[in-house]
Amino acid sequence: MTTLYRCITEDDTSRFCHRVSEALSLGWSLHGSPTMAWDPVKAVMRMGQAITKEVEAEYHPDMKLGQQ
């Protein structure tokens, strides 16, 4: 078994929530609490959420994590 790790980032909009919800529906698990930070360049709040997933495949740097 291999544990995969991703960090989803997005502006603080419903799109962020949908991206995290989609990952959860595909078997990913939340890893820690979400984070938020002010982006002064774009003048928006940015969100981040780490997620993990256990897979049977052996890890390789070319893996498309969003497709696992």
Q: What pTM was estimated for this model as a whole?
A: 0.87
Q: What CATH number does domain 2-67 carry, 3.30.70, 1.20.140, 3.10.20, 3.40.50?
A: 3.30.70
* CA–CA distance, 32 with 34 (Å, rounded to integer): 7
Spatial CA neighbour of 9 closest among 43, 42, 40, 34: 34
pLDDT tens per residue, range 20-31: 999 999 999 999
Percent of the chain topping pLDDT 90: 79
Residue 9 has which token pair? 């980032």
Spatial CA neighbour of 34 closest among 18, 14, 16: 16
> Taking the domains of the chain in order of start, what are their residue ranges?
2-67
